[in-house]
Chain A
Amino acid sequence: MKSLLKVHHLKKTYHTKQGETPAIKDITFDLKPGEFIAIVGPSGCGKSTILSILCDLLEKSNGTIEKNKNITFGYMLQQDSLFPWRTILDNCLLGLEITNQLTNENKDYVLSLLKTYGLKDFIHSYPANLSGGMRQRVALIRTLATKPDILLLDEPFSALDYQSRLAVSDDVYQIIKKEKKSAIMVTHDLAEAISMADRIIVLTERPCQIKNIHTIQFENRSTPIENRKCKEFSKYYDQIWKEIDFHV
């Protein structure tokens, strides 16, 4: 299958007054249509930097990023960053407003997403009235509103408590699959990565390089919560755990 995105020898160095900090040494990977890739690695290794470079928030220092035709990215951050002064619907329409795509057709699409994913009764509420999990779902719909080809998820659940985290990751996973999106997720939670991703890229410490890429195969793959019960789950967990250099 043809790749949507190819990253070749990506390199990034941060420049500050204190000096140069190499963040990414050499990263090469590709993303296929419909694929879900998770990137894991020790904290501060430069995982998030990769996503920032992909959606042009940061400039790369070296390497090439090959994009298939005019693919677009949707970026979802750690914080839901919902605007407290906007209603849920208006929050979801923000990306369309910014990109000048606020047509009736697109608005109907957002409304249908809100309806499908259980937020119909809240479209005129304000973010403060929603639970953390619901807010995260709103943030995902806001990202989906501009119909991006690839979703970039930067530790999307780290602000949630454990229970909601499991539930919301299940939700988000199913929304992504149903809408047939490809995704790259950065996370520090190995279990989350294994339960959701098709492939997992394990990074070394900063400046990061690829240590290994695992293809995750379950005999009966289903939802993230169910996947955690598969017998292969703990095998992957052990393997990857050993590869990450955790320093406490």
Chain B
Amino acid sequence: MYSHEHLLFLKKIKKNKRYVHITQVMILFLFIFAWQLFADLEIINTFISSSPKNVLETILELIKDGKLWYHIWVTCYETMISFSLGTGLGFLIATVLWWFPFLAKVLDPYLTILNSLPKVALGPIIIIWAGAGKNSIILMALFISVIITIMNVYQSFIETDTYKIRLLQSWKATKWQIYQKVIMPSSLQTILNALKINISMSLIGVITGEFLVSKEGIGYLIMYGSQVFNLDLVMTGIIILAIVATIMYYMINYIEKKTIK
């Protein structure tokens, strides 16, 4: 049983946390309220800045057409595919680089170039090569996520505590044993961090791809909306995207918590 003083202390922490939550929610409502109010008072032009009411109507319309879930599904599907491929491939390539230091040295400048190159620039080429469809979008997102994964994971591989490696070497461990017993487990945290970065990288890539290909997906909704000057649709797309991104982030967070007890 805790002392009275400690209970007060706990209560204070709890109270503080609640205030933070309340303030966060209030900011959101205030923003929506002010947006709607300014729109109603015609302080802002709803034609170029839309309004919460219009957004809500657009969402309901999209639901009625059955298009909303379809576009969300397309974007999520593309993101998941490129995320899995990016993470898997990145991890594999990082392993190969660690295994063959010669290769790592040779490829170092090329990786640096690829990393600094804005991947959007590759968009037109990718579309020509892979066609104006899902493949191009996935490839685009893959390019964006795989390079950063390789670099982060490889960096953490080579920064593994040398004492731990020496210890294993004193038992004449094979390279595979060193990889499996030390390199992999000590890089787990970095790998999980890479997942977090990757999910947003993949989403960025997918939206960029959908802008370029413009057939389906949330990126398409936004692009199409801007082309026909329907700002309601643009705002709706952005808000849906924000929600999707947040859910994805928390999903990865959940996986991280499950992996590291």
Q: Is B168 part of the contact surface with A, judged by Cβ < 8 Å?
A: yes
Q: How far is the CA of A98 from the CA of B165 in the complex (A)?
A: 12
Q: What is the count of residue pairs linking A and B with beta-carbon distances less than 8 angstroms?
A: 42
Set B167, B171, B173, B185: member contacting A77, Cβ < 8 A: B167
Q: How far is the CA of A56 from the CA of B169 in the complex (A)?
A: 9
In chain B, what residue has the closest Cβ to A51?
Answer: B170
Q: Is B102 part of the contact surface with A, judged by Cβ < 8 Å?
A: no
Q: How far is the CA of A83 from the CA of B170 in the complex (A)?
A: 16
Q: Is A136 part of the contact surface with B, judged by Cβ < 8 Å?
A: no
Q: Are A97 and B170 also in contact (CB < 8 A) when A79-B163, A81-B161, A81-B163 are?
A: no
Set A78, A83, A85, A98: member contacting B173, Cβ < 8 A: A98
The answer on a CB contact under 8 Å between A81 and B164 is yes
The answer on a CB contact under 8 Å between B171 and A98 is yes
Chain B residue numbers with a CB within 8 Å of A73 are: 170
The answer on a CB contact under 8 Å between A77 and B163 is yes
Q: How far is the CA of A95 from the CA of B171 in the complex (A)?
A: 6
Set B161, B172, B185: member contacting A56, Cβ < 8 A: B172
Q: How many interface residues does B have (CB within 8 Å)?
A: 17
In chain B, what residue has the closest Cβ to A56?
Answer: B172
In chain B, what residue has the closest Cβ to A79?
Answer: B163
In chain A, what residue has the closest Cβ to B188?
Answer: A85
Give the size range of A's interface with the partner.
10 to 19
Secondary structure at the B interface, as helix, strand, loop or mixed, is helix
The answer on a CB contact under 8 Å between B169 and A57 is yes
In chain B, what residue has the closest Cβ to A96?
Answer: B171
Chain B residue numbers with a CB within 8 Å of A57 are: 166, 169-170
CB of B146, distance to nearest CB on chain A (Å): 27
Chain A residue numbers with a CB within 8 Å of B161 are: 81
Chain B residue numbers with a CB within 8 Å of A97 are: 181
- B residues near A, CB below 8 A? 161, 163-164, 166-173, 177, 181-182, 185-186, 188
- A residues near B, CB below 8 A? 55-57, 73-75, 77-79, 81, 83, 85, 94-95, 97-99, 146
Instruction: Supply 15 A–B pairs (Cβ within 8 Å), ascending by A.
Output: A57-B169, A75-B166, A75-B170, A81-B161, A81-B163, A83-B182, A83-B185, A83-B186, A85-B186, A94-B167, A95-B171, A98-B173, A98-B181, A99-B171, A99-B172
A73-B170, A77-B166, A98-B177 known; 18 new pairs, CB 8 Å cut-off, are A56-B170, A57-B170, A75-B170, A77-B163, A78-B163, A81-B161, A81-B163, A81-B164, A83-B181, A83-B186, A94-B168, A95-B171, A98-B168, A98-B172, A98-B181, A99-B171, A99-B172, A146-B171
